[in-house]
Amino acid sequence: MSMRPFWIEQALFNDGDLAPALQGAQRADVCIVGGGFTGLWTAIQAKQLNPALDIVLLESDLCGAGASGRNGGCLLTWSAKFFTLRRLFGEAEAVRLVRASEAAVQHIADFCREHGIDAELRQDGTLYTATSRAQIGTLEPVMRGLEACGIQSYWTLPPDEVVRRSGSARNLAGVYSPIAATVHPGKLVRGLRRTALAMGIRIHERSPMLDFSTGHPVTVRTPAGSIEAKKLVLAINAWMASQFPQFERTIAIVSSDMVITERCPELLRRIGFTDGVSVLDSRTFVYYYRSTADGRIMLGKGGNTFSWGGRIAPVFDQRSPYEVELTQALHSFFPALEGTPITASWNGPSDRSVTGFPFFGRLNGAPHIHYGFGYSGNGVGPTYMGGQILSSLLLDLDNAWTRSPLTQGPRGYFPPEPLRYVGSIVVRNAIRRKERAEDEGRQPWQVDRMLSKLANAAGKADKA
Ligand SMILES: Cc1cc2nc3c(=O)[nH]c(=O)nc-3n(C[C@H](O)[C@H](O)[C@H](O)COP(=O)(O)OP(=O)(O)OC[C@H]3O[C@@H](n4cnc5c(N)ncnc54)[C@H](O)[C@@H]3O)c2cc1C
């Protein structure tokens, strides 16, 4: 990758050394491919479960070069997607998964504290807001559904309180959940890498997997070496679709675009927006923003650029093509920021599955090759669960994770190209027209409302 993500630049300041590339033929019990949150959590949790396990992790660039070092750092749960979980998996599993996603927030915070990872993690909750009349009340049925199952995750706030907590009068209404956090993604992913190394996990950066033999053991080849391993875990996220044709139609690769301001702590203090709350509005491709611990504001939005045929286009590695639009959106939330320069913009590939949830499984049914991806723009917290699932699978455990329907592979396919690409653009444009109309207090066209529902079918509150 050519452009080093903004967060990684900041994190590498404290952590400049890269792990050496793999050289020569080596052996391990487990080989994990992909040095993002999924690969690192899997390695760490497997090592915690069985300290004797010899684990090697291969990363094609540097740990955090993918989505894990580029995201918005909004550590969220699956509670807002409860209805989709219930429709897919039944009530008992949906409740278990919501609770597990809520527990993941605390587990990540505890892990950082225990291992001295200063990921700037602030457990100040999240606000789901409405930025147009049409969005008001979107989450209410979900709140009632959760409450009926004994989960009290959200509270409706009075409008003036929403404005105060979110720092912006553009938010007309909102509900608050204390079970959420924000993190510095670069410091988290590099901190996990450091901890994994300290636990004895062998990491090789700049070591792309070129291919592997499917025999038992597997042999994974990189440009200058190979690993023979009893088990293989593929944790390469959006890259699965281009590297494994059988997954090409299981995800749509969609950008999430982001801008971040210069440091402006004084201004944030004046606005009263200084804590670690994340704010998401309730449109289909939501606006989300938060402050950072070093006094900036970051705003992101998913669903702008779609890739053809599951390929990671060069645009995912450049400044955001939507920088101007995002900056305008930022100023519409915070007019006081108009004189504050934008330090950086970027985007990255998000792996949007048909259901909006990740899926895990065995590659072509092989008992020793596991994979997991498809977080659909909500992965900072759920990749911890990905680690629970993949570590349980590779250790052949019999537990709620290995029995979960999440381990049964993809639950739907997008149409083949060119239909998927053309369809994505048609739906995206319909959503844009519908939301522009709603922002301006107009009635959207009926056809745009219908097309927008196609994207909503997978559930609300995704960020990409
Ligand atoms: C711009 C953006 C903003 C986002 N914002 C949020 C947010 O605020 N909150 C949230 O919850 N989620 C967010 N997400 C989603 C979240 O970041 C991801 O779901 C999560 O990071 C996925 O982690 P991962 O480890 O599965 O994938 P990745 O972090 O993408 O890791 C995969 C790794 O595999 C490596 N790789 C690929 N091919 C090979 C190979 N052949 N050999 C070796 N290595 C290989 C890649 O270099 C990469 O480092 C965002 C995503 C993006 C792109």
131, two tokens: 């930025």
Helices (H) and strands (E) in the chain, counts: 13, 18
| Ligand 1 atom closest to 208 (CA) | 42
202, two tokens: 């062998």
Ligand 1 proximity of 410 Cβ (cutoff 6 Å) = no
Ligand 1 proximity of 298 Cβ (cutoff 6 Å) = no
d(CA 256, CA 464): 6
Q: How far is the CA of 22 from the centre of ligand 1 (A)?
A: 22
Ligand 1 proximity of 5 Cβ (cutoff 6 Å) = no
Strands (E), 93-154: 126-130
Residues 388, 196, 78, 332, Cα dihedral to 10°: -170
Beta bridge partners of 350: 254
Question: CA separation (Å) from 272 to 173, 282, 339, 343?
Answer: 18, 23, 18, 22
If one counts the domains in the chain, the total is 2
Q: How far is the CA of 133 from the centre of ligand 1 (A)?
A: 34
Side chain identity at residue 236, one-letter code: I
**Pocket test residue of 60, 62, 232, 257 for ligand 1, highest count of atoms within 8 A of CB:** 60
Q: How far is the CA of 205 from the centre of ligand 1 (A)?
A: 15
Based on the fold, state whether residues 181 and 223 are members of the same structural domain.
yes
pLDDT of residue 460: 42
Q: Block means of pLDDT (10 residues each) for the chain, length 464 residues?
A: 78 75 98 98 98 98 95 97 97 98 98 97 97 90 96 95 96 97 97 97 98 93 98 96 92 92 96 96 91 97 85 86 96 96 93 95 94 96 98 97 98 90 88 89 88 65 44
Are the beta carbons of 437 and 443 closer than 8 angstroms? yes
Is residue 452 in a domain?
A: yes
Closest to 67 (Cα-Cα) out of 96, 111, 37? 37
d(CA 170, CA 289): 13
Based on the fold, state whether residues 175 and 233 are members of the same structural domain.
yes
| Ligand 1 atom closest to 347 (CA) | 1
Q: How far is the CA of 15 from the centre of ligand 1 (A)?
A: 20
Based on the fold, state whether residues 429 and 402 are members of the same structural domain.
no
pLDDT of residue 462: 44
What is the H or E stretch that residue 351 is in? strand 342-353
Based on the fold, state whether residues 234 and 382 are members of the same structural domain.
yes
Based on the fold, state whether residues 367 and 254 are members of the same structural domain.
yes
Predicted structure pTM score: 0.95
Ligand 1 proximity of 358 Cβ (cutoff 6 Å) = no
Based on the fold, state whether residues 301 and 436 are members of the same structural domain.
no
* Residues with Cβ within 8 Å of residue 49, at least 6 apart in sequence: 391, 395, 397
d(CA 290, CA 275): 9
Is residue 412 in a domain?
A: no
d(CA 20, CA 114): 27
Ligand 1 proximity of 463 Cβ (cutoff 6 Å) = yes
Is residue 76 in a domain?
A: yes
For 36, the domain range is 6-407
pLDDT of residue 13: 62
pLDDT of residue 463: 47
Q: How far is the CA of 370 from the centre of ligand 1 (A)?
A: 17
Is residue 462 in a domain?
A: no
Based on the fold, state whether residues 301 and 444 are members of the same structural domain.
no
Strands (E), 184-286: 202-204, 211-212, 218-222, 225-234, 251-261, 278-281
* CATH number of the domain encompassing residue 240: 3.50.50.60
**Pocket test residue of 237, 258, 259, 384 for ligand 1, highest count of atoms within 8 A of CB:** 237
Are the beta carbons of 406 and 349 closer than 8 angstroms? no
Is residue 1 in a domain?
A: no
Is residue 305 in a domain?
A: yes
d(CA 360, CA 41): 15
Based on the fold, state whether residues 333 and 428 are members of the same structural domain.
no
d(CA 194, CA 11): 12
* Residues with Cβ within 8 Å of residue 129, at least 6 apart in sequence: 135, 162, 166, 171, 172, 173, 174, 279, 280, 281, 282
Based on the fold, state whether residues 436 and 300 are members of the same structural domain.
no
d(CA 303, CA 416): 19
Q: How far is the CA of 250 from the centre of ligand 1 (A)?
A: 16
Based on the fold, state whether residues 366 and 436 are members of the same structural domain.
no
d(CA 358, CA 378): 9
Ligand 1 proximity of 132 Cβ (cutoff 6 Å) = no
Is residue 463 in a domain?
A: no
What is the H or E stretch that residue 145 is in? helix 140-148
Based on the fold, state whether residues 340 and 193 are members of the same structural domain.
yes
Using CA positions, which residue lies closest to atom 21 of ligand 1?
68
pLDDT of residue 459: 41
Q: How far is the CA of 160 from the centre of ligand 1 (A)?
A: 36
Degrees (nearest 5) of the Cα angle 259, 261, 264? Answer: 160
Q: How far is the CA of 242 from the centre of ligand 1 (A)?
A: 15
Q: How far is the CA of 257 from the centre of ligand 1 (A)?
A: 14
Q: How far is the CA of 157 from the centre of ligand 1 (A)?
A: 33
Ligand 1 proximity of 167 Cβ (cutoff 6 Å) = no
Based on the fold, state whether residues 313 and 443 are members of the same structural domain.
no
Is residue 443 in a domain?
A: yes
